[in-house]
Amino acid sequence: MSNQSEILASRLAVVKPSASIAAKARADAMRASGREIIDFTTGEPDFPTPQHIIEAGARALAGGHTRYTASAGTAELRNAIVGKLLRENQLSYELSEVVVGSGAKHIIFNAFMASLNPGDEVIVPAPYWVSYPDMVLLNGGVPRIVDCPAEDGFKIRAQALAQTINEKTKWVVLNSPNNPTGAVYSEGELRAIGEVLLRHPQVHVMTDEIYEHFVYGSARHVCLLNTTPELRGRTLVVNGLSKSHAMTGWRIGYGAGPAPLIKAITLLITQSTTCASAAAQAAAAVALNGPQDCVADASKLFQERRDHMVNRLNAIDGFVCGLPDGAFYVFASVAGLIGRTTQDGKQIRSDVDVAEFLREEAGVVAIDGSSYGLSPFIRFSFATSMSEIDRGCDAIAAAVSQLKQQ
């Protein structure tokens, strides 16, 4: 009898499941088993898609938007994206430079598939969104991870970038606002990075701006192309509606970049998904062209939750976190808990142990920093209600108070 594993491609050996999706699955399984838990893993807004967007989707279905569309996306949606990029980001694109995918993740994966040859390197600043390195590996590339410690604001510095680029470098990935840290690159920081990239014409830039509308305090979202427009011909701007318009399940993302790359991504879509959902595209066009009050309201709500969660976590012995400038995550240092011992004598040696301890003893599910490439931290999502934040922090404080000091 043949071994079932023979059917699997060897490339799968280098890929891990998404840590955030795996943590969410653990939370769901615990809940299903009857355990009361507080879930801080969620990377999506906890409120519904705004009503006018839902109604637009329903109208589209009733109006016959139930068939295939052009693989690059409908002209209506791509025109809305062109308008959005000009209006909100001061970036000018032609329709041939825009492609719609089934989520921003789909665009990123296809961009790597379209561009990476075996051995090509992709510079990924850490902490990073969990899927970047695995997507690179799946497509034959080599992720070059650059540690960006808390003292650097969890951001790659121009000097570190310059030291990492070599003749094999194909891409640099920038994610601002960042998942998992909420770090936001300033205009000056981007200009310095741009100056380094100008010296290396073989290097392309993927700038993932999915959290652009969630910036707080004095922070402002700036695109690399606003500071260094000369990089336009080798930059792919990635975005989508999942976070900004609470449309995670609609699966609409997009990329804007040089026409040859956009054409190649579109080619891959023709041979894989064919196109994004027709009705979801129609709803997304309404979302981009319509009033943006819902986005501003969400940002204000997230800022209030951010402030509250950071205050609550910093009041717990062993946790240290700054105020993130963007996104909806707190990346808290748990270095103060390393070395402590649980009631049953188990020593906490890593952030993975901290995450397990919080899950088992406090019923709080969050994600260890090692999954994002930097320890010892824990990522907490504040895309949840104030009452859940309080409930979770109360449970964490009670569990931590039981730990024994070395």
pLDDT in tens, 78-93: 999 999 999 999 999 9
Whole-angstrom distance, CA of residue 332 vs CA of residue 185: 19
Residues of the chain scoring pLDDT < 50: 1
Strand, coil or helix: 60: helix
10-48+294-400: CATH homologous superfamily?
Aspartate Aminotransferase, domain 1 (3.90.1150.10)
Domain edges within the chain: 10-48+294-400, 51-291
Task: Quote the pLDDT of residue 359.
Answer: 94
For the beta sheet containing 253-256, the strands, ordered from the edge strand earlier in sequence to the opposite edge, are 98-101, 253-256, 235-240, 204-208, 169-175, 121-126, 142-147
Residues paired with 33 in a beta bridge: none
Going by C-alpha positions, the residue among 274, 207, 212, 264 that lies closest to residue 236 is: 207
Whole-angstrom distance, CA of residue 243 vs CA of residue 328: 10
Q: What is the pLDDT of residues 53-65, one digit of tens each?
A: 999 999 999 999 9
Task: Quote the pLDDT of residue 1.
Answer: 44
Q: Which CATH class is domain 51-291?
A: alpha beta
Residues paired with 364 in a beta bridge: 38
Task: Quote the pLDDT of residue 29.
Answer: 87
